[in-house]
A and B are shown apart, each in its own frame.
Chain A
Amino acid sequence: MKKRSIIPILYIAFLMLPIYWLVAMSFKTTNEILSGFSLFPQTFTLENYITIFTDPTWYWGYINSITYVTINTVLSICVALPAAYAFSRYRFLGDKQLFFWLLTNRMAPAAVFALPFFQLYSSIHLFDTYLAVALAHTLFNVPLAVWILEGFMRGIPKELDETAYVDGYSFPRFFVTIFLPNIKAGVGVAAFFCFMFSWVEMLLAKTLTAVEAKPIAAVMTRTASSAGYELGLLAAAGTLTIIPGAIVIWFVRNYIARGFAMGRV
């Protein structure tokens, strides 16, 4: 038993090394970085972080990213809930084909959509808005949310619905007060994955924004090119992008295995 645990330990160490390096770099001064190799920051500095938190282009990058991710998550879950309910409870004309078609969108290379999305959202005057990115990301998040939620809903016996109707509940009231609490783990898992994929996706987010809704990623690219080689700053900005993900995953840690177990990612 003990001998076996060496494998996960080594694996996690491998995962943590680049992250450690990013964090370590973020606490170094530019001088130290350029003057040579050091395993730990020699002159510990918070300067990089101070720059980020005082420069509006920097911190607005974060606010922009978080805003469109949140809009996307809420939107995806809201439209996916009724659809998943329909797929899990009813048979209807073309249901299988529709489900499959939804899933094929998950397979589409984002690069294929970059240019047409740019034109589409420009033509309806949504270019460079939060809504544009949030809507674009629903392309792959909605199918995913429907898939995950449908799996959880299928686990709830249909008798629950019938009992509620017999007790005189209207559909909306039943759905909100009885059904939703029963699948809250599923909603959590689905929201987690929506958050995750919207947060990490950059190609579309960058293509659909210019100034107003520019995600943190685009700000980082600018730093790398225009302001020379400010590695410390870049590292600090990168470190800060890990934090939201880490927080979110901590909340759903007990459900991840189950969410994956449903085989619905």
Chain B
Amino acid sequence: MRTENQKAWFFVLPVLALVAFNALVPMMTVVNYSVQETFGNNQFFWEGLGWFEQILRSDRFQAALGRQFLFTAMILAIEVPLGVIVALSMPRKGFWVPVCLVLMALPMLIPWNVVGSMWNIFTLPKIGLLGYFLNDVLGVNYDMTQQPLSAWITVIVMDVWHWTSLVVLLCYAGLVSIPDAYYQAAKIDGASPWSVFRYIQLPKMKTVLTIAVLLRFMDSFNIYTEPFVLTGGGPGNSTTLLSIDLVKIALGQFDLGPAAAMSLIYFAITLLVSWVFYTLMTKDDAQ
């Protein structure tokens, strides 16, 4: 077991210094801006919680937050089951395992703006493979730059393409850690494939699945670059997710006060929902 030793703090010091520098200083700045009003010239006036109230009441923020939750809910609903299914049907050992793993991990290793550009090129009408196929072969009227629905579907499919592999790899890791004896016992007990999944594979995947859901929640909730490059938040504001809106306000309009207040609300929501998820998913173990 671990022993009590306060000197261990020295080992943690470099990490602490680095992360504190990166997290605390900017966080102070954000808090500072969030309660002040500026009219340029580096003159600041105390504003109190005014910005927070303004943001929380604004239709624009509420709409972006709604879109954000819808987006996250949809990708979780698609990526988690899909990832589990793919992981279950993967071979357990042999030559193809590393090949599968490498190919599946590839989308995660592409810079996020390239992911956006790639899907942009892929879906262009007339020129892109998907755009051409849908419009000219299937006769579907598909144009991401004009139709909000097309844009939404594209953003979702892109995220499924980009991140489902994370769920696959995590679940796969959970699956290979199940000893053969469990499968053999299930065979002898006459368990159906569904029972094997329900009573052996799912319980063993629970930890990794919790992590997968948490990560996918956090990362999809914070997503910025890919949809920004793909749609720029459009058409209109239809795919303007929280991060895109925040950057628009902060760097586009340079409205520091509202942007800072929104940042804090945003961060608080992320933390809160992560915490709720985590508590719900690990509740059983505590009993």
Binding site for B on A (CB under 8 A): 4-8, 11-12, 14-22, 25, 33-34, 36-37, 39, 65, 75, 78-80, 82-83, 85-93, 95, 98, 102, 104-117, 119-120, 135-136, 138-139, 142-143, 146, 196, 199-203, 207, 216-217, 220-221, 224, 231, 234-235, 237-238, 241-242, 245-246, 248-250, 253-254, 256-258, 260-261, 263, 265
Contact = CB atoms under 8 A, between A and B. Distances in A.
B109 A89 contact: no
Contact of A242 (B5, B90, B114, B176): B114
Interface in B97-150: 97-98, 100-114, 117-119, 121-122, 126-130, 132, 136
A7 B176 CA distance: 18
A256 B98 CA distance: 9
B123 to A, nearest CB: 9
Contacts of B224: 109-111, 203
Interface string B190-234: 000000000000000001100100010010011011000100000
Interface in B159-203: 161, 164-166, 168-170, 172-174, 176-177
B98 A217 contact: no
A95 B136 CA distance: 60
B276 to A, nearest CB: 13
Nearest to A75: B18
Interface in B249-287: 250-251, 256, 259-260, 263-264, 266-267, 270-271, 274
B127 A142 contact: no
B40 interface: no
A93 B122 CA distance: 53
A82 B113 contact: no
Contact of A98 (B16, B176, B260): B16
Given A120-B25, A200-B112, A92 B9 contact: yes
B113 A221 contact: yes
A125 to B, nearest CB: 15
B43 interface: no
Indicate the size class of the contact surface on chain B: 35 or more
Question: Mostly helix, strand, loop or mixed at chain A's interface?
Answer: helix
A238 B4 contact: no
A105 B128 contact: no
Contacts of A201: 111-112
B127 A91 contact: no
A249 B15 contact: no
26 contacts: A12-B104, A19-B118, A20-B129, A82-B12, A83-B14, A86-B9, A86-B12, A89-B8, A109-B246, A109-B267, A109-B270, A110-B224, A112-B263, A112-B264, A115-B260, A116-B26, A119-B29, A135-B21, A135-B22, A139-B22, A200-B112, A234-B117, A254-B98, A256-B169, A260-B169, A263-B170
A16 B19 CA distance: 37
Contacts of A12: 100, 103-104
A220 B114 contact: yes
Contacts of A200: 108-112
A21 B123 CA distance: 10
Contacts of B271: 104, 107
A235 B250 CA distance: 30
A260 B208 contact: yes
B102 A249 contact: yes
Question: Mostly helix, strand, loop or mixed at chain B's interface?
Answer: helix
B102 A90 contact: no
A27 B15 CA distance: 45
A262 to B, nearest CB: 8
A164 to B, nearest CB: 16
A85 B30 CA distance: 33
B36 interface: no
Contacts of A85: 11
B121 A92 contact: no
B85 interface: yes
A241 B242 CA distance: 27
B79 to A, nearest CB: 12
Interface string B20-62: 0111011101100000000000000000000000000000000
B121 A22 contact: yes
B105 A109 contact: no
A241 B114 contact: yes
B86 interface: yes
